[in-house]
Structure 1
Amino acid sequence: MSPKVVVVTGSNRGIGLALAVQFSKQGDIVIATVRSKANAGTLASLPNVTLVELDADDIATVDSAVAEIEEIAPEGIDELWNLMEESRNVQHWSEDGLSPHILAPDMQRIFLVNVTTPTYLASKLLPQLEKRKTKKIVFVSSCNASFDYSKSSAGHLTKAEAPFIYGASKSALNMSAWYFHNQLNSSGFTIVPIHPGLVVTDMNPFGAISSEESAKKMLDTVDALSAKDEFFLRNYDGSVLAW
């Protein structure tokens, strides 16, 4: 079986790095996007990995990244894994410390990184995906985009910092995935929005699973899916999340 050609975004740390490592170990060809090659760390030393610079805060870098990906993989790519995200919610307080509020630039940045840039990148890479048979696009979403989860976690969410911004952005990302599914499923594309699990990160030391476990189980889940499967928001372990 010939190796897959895979694009992994946001791959210099966390789940993105863990996915790049998994694909590299499998012998797949990995095109890993990073904000800066100079700060790619251990990613730069992985076999079968080529680095491409892409700054999720600057959508203009998508076009240059796509041009570079086309040169690296002229015969096309099999899978796109979109892991770019801003998960830090920003909340400000009034001078008396009683009234929380948000600022428009904060919301604009979160939606740019979590929705606009990954959606635009997916649209620009469609010609490369169409060249090969696999045709899979993965959008790493969140349980925070789920109404059911939000209702069951209302007590926690009311204490968190402006949690609706992150959840709203991931809900918008799910709708982008739904759009791609409706447009492309008949052409053999598999579109997968997926929750990576509650992963231990620098910003979330209370997570339940490691980046490595999340990456491994998401890979297993996505490998098992095809264009014949119904569109759902998936959990990392393959189960379906109410949306």
Structure 2
Amino acid sequence: MSTTTTPRTVLITGGNRGIGYALAEEFVAQGHRVAVTSRSGTGGPDGALTVAGDVTDGASIDAAFDAIEAELGPVEVVVANAGITRDTLLMRMSEDDFTSVIDTNLTGAFRVVKRASKGMLKARFGRIVLISSVVGLYGSAGQVNYSSSKSALVGFARSISRELGARGITANVVAPGFIETDMTAELPEAQQAEYKKNIPAGRYGSASEVAKVVAWLASDDAAYITGAVIPVDGGLGMGH
């Protein structure tokens, strides 16, 4: 099966490490014009334009878009990937632990997508991909803040789909499961084995496996898919 790829201007937030970095690498490899934001303005992969951008600050996001548009043209594909965790049990979770995660993971996506939608509406074309998580729908003890922010992206994408769908703009959610990153590598081996027992595929995923799904959603072949939640989790959350 061949994928039709029209070169697009792609923006990935939080593209300096982990899944975001792999996303940027994949889009570069497919011949797209790629920009990534990181808070420091450094750290993106070769072939990508890296700009400073803090998703918790609307003015910072505006400035990032201005810089990207000047260099690469209007953003046609936006991947809202920047996210944080502040894991702790509900009884110990401070209000700041909760609101700061929501502000980055959910309101941050809102700031980025709202700014991107201006150019998309004008062009009557756009691909919006929101990076959620299996725990958004499956739940996870100690992650009330994180799972709330990630499940909220589903309602966000579906509402955008209804608002903007007739303008050639799609909005979808990709929900990774346990992915091999620096974070999972630090887990004790016994804990890793325990987690893997619950994954039907019997292994963690790779960041590139997530990246290929996101790139496909942004391709010409996925024009009639919107409001979908696509799990990349080895079967961990099926049915959720």
TM over 0.5: yes
Whole-Å Cα distance in 1 between the matches of residues 9 and 226 of structure 2? 25
Per-residue deviation, 1:66: 2.2
How much has 1:134 moved relative to structure 2?
Answer: 4.3
Query: For the aligned residues, what is the CA RMSD?
Result: 2.6
* Residue in 2 that maps onto 1:142: 133
**Maintained 8 Å contact 1:77/1:132:** no
The secondary structure found in structure 2 opposite 1:80 is: strand
Cα deviation, 1:128-161, whole Å, max 9, x if unaligned, reads 2234464100000112121xx34xxxxxx4xx4x
Q: Does 1:22 align with 2:26?
A: yes
* Displacement of 1:2: 4.9
Encode CA deviations 1:188-207: one digit per residue, 9 max, x unaligned. Answer: 11110111232122222347
Q: Residue in 1 aligned with 2:37?
A: 33
Match of 1:81 in 2: 79
Show the counterpart of 2:94. Answer: 103
Deviation at 1:230, TM superposition (A): 5.3
The worse-fitting range, judged by mean Cα deviation, of 177-186 and 213-222 is: 213-222
TM-score, with structure 1 as normaliser: 0.79
**Residue identity matched to 2:129:** V
TM-score normalised per structure 2: 0.80
Q: Which residue pairs with 1:54 in the alignment?
A: 53
User: Are 1:167 and 2:147 matched, yes or no?
Assistant: yes
2:222 corresponds in structure 1 to: 225
- CA displacement 1:39-61 (0-9 Å, x = unmatched): 41xx25x12x2111112343431
- 131-140 or 19-28, which moves further after superposition? 131-140
8 Å contact from structure 2 (residues 129, 214) kept in 1: no
The residue identity in structure 2 corresponding to 1:165 is N
Q: Is the 8 A contact 1:8 1:32 kept in 2?
A: yes
Q: 1:218 to 1:57 in 2, by over 3 A?
A: same
Point out which structure has higher relative CO (alpha carbons under 8 A, 6+ apart).
Answer: 2
> What percentage of aligned pairs have identical amino acids?
27
Unaligned 5+ segments in structure 1 are: 93-99, 151-156
Equivalent pair of 2:12/2:37 in contact (CA under 8 Å): yes
